[in-house]
Amino acid sequence: MSRITDDRIFYEAASKEIYKAVQSKLLLITNKSKPEISKLILQSLNDSDTTKSLLSGKLRDDFGLFGNVATVTINNIAKHISENIELSIAKSKKSGVMLSITVEVMPGDFKKILSVAGATYNSRGGPVDWLEWLITRGTQVVVGDYWLFPHAKGFTRSGGSSIMAEIKTIPRDPFRVDPNYAGTIDDNFITRAIQAKADEILDIVAIEIDRSIK
C-alpha cells in the first residue's frame, strides 16, 4: 500500500483558523500593545540628541523653551503616536509563512503630531510654533526679521544666553533651525525615533498576538 500525504490541506485550514482568531481580536491586541509601544517610543525620543538639546541645550535656548515645556511635549508626542497605531493582518504569499502582520504608525497625515499640547506657546511677539519649525521647515528661514543674539545678559525666557533680536541697521542672518537638528516632515527626530524601534514594536505586537490566540 502506498501513502500519499498533502500538508497543504492542514496548512490552509490552520491558516484560516489563525487568521479568523487574530482578525477578531485586532482591536484588543492593538490596545494592549499601546502602553509598551508608548514607553518604547518615549525611550527612543529621549535618547535622541535633538531631545537632549530641547531639554537642556541649544534648542531650548533657541526656541525659548521655558520650564518643562519640552518634557511635557516629548511625553505628549510619545502618547499621541501610541494612540495612532493600526494593525492589519493578511494571508501571506511567502512560502512557509501563514500570516503577515502590518503595524502602521501614524497613518495618514503625520502633521497631526503638531496638535499635541506644548508644540506651540504664546510669547509677547505672538505664537511660537517651535515643533513645526523643528520637524517641517528644515533649514528654511523661519523668522525673516529676527536673528539669534548670543551672549544675552539679564532675563531670557529659557534661562539661556540667547534671545531673538530684531534685525535693524546691521544685516544679520535671519532665524532658522540649527542645521544639526533641523528636520523635514519625512525625516525628523520623531520619525527616526520610531524607525529605530521598528523591530521592537513588531516584537511587542507579536507577543500580544501569541497571548490572544492561546
The residues pairing with 99 across neighbouring beta strands, listed in sequence order, are: 91
Q: List Cβ neighbours of 119 (8 Å cut-off, separation of 6 or more).
A: 73, 76, 113, 129, 130, 131, 132
CA distance 74 to 117: 10
Q: List Cβ neighbours of 190 (8 Å cut-off, separation of 6 or more).
A: 45, 77, 81, 113, 135, 183
Q: Around Cβ 139, how many Cβ atoms within 10 Å? A: 12
CA distance 172 to 208: 55
The DSSP line for 124-154 is: TTEEE-HHHHHHH-TTSEEETTEEEE-S--S
List the pLDDT tens digit at each of the 214 positions of the chain: 455 445 566 567 767 777 788 888 888 988 999 999 999 999 999 999 999 999 998 899 888 888 899 999 999 999 999 889 888 878 766 665 567 788 888 888 899 999 999 999 887 767 889 999 999 999 888 776 664 667 666 555 545 656 666 667 777 777 789 999 999 999 999 999 999 999 999 899 888 888 887 7
> Which ranges of 47-170 does DSSP label H, i.e. alpha helix?
49-56, 58-63, 69-83, 130-136
Residue 164 has what pLDDT?
63
In 3D space, the residue among 116, 141, 136, 118 whose CA is nearest the CA of residue 128 turns out to be 118
Q: How far is CA 190 from the centre of its chain?
A: 4
Residue 1 has what pLDDT?
47
- The domain spans of the chain are 9-212
Q: Read off the C-alpha cell for 179.
A: 542645521
Secondary element (H or E) of residue 12 = helix 7-24
Residue 163 has what pLDDT?
64
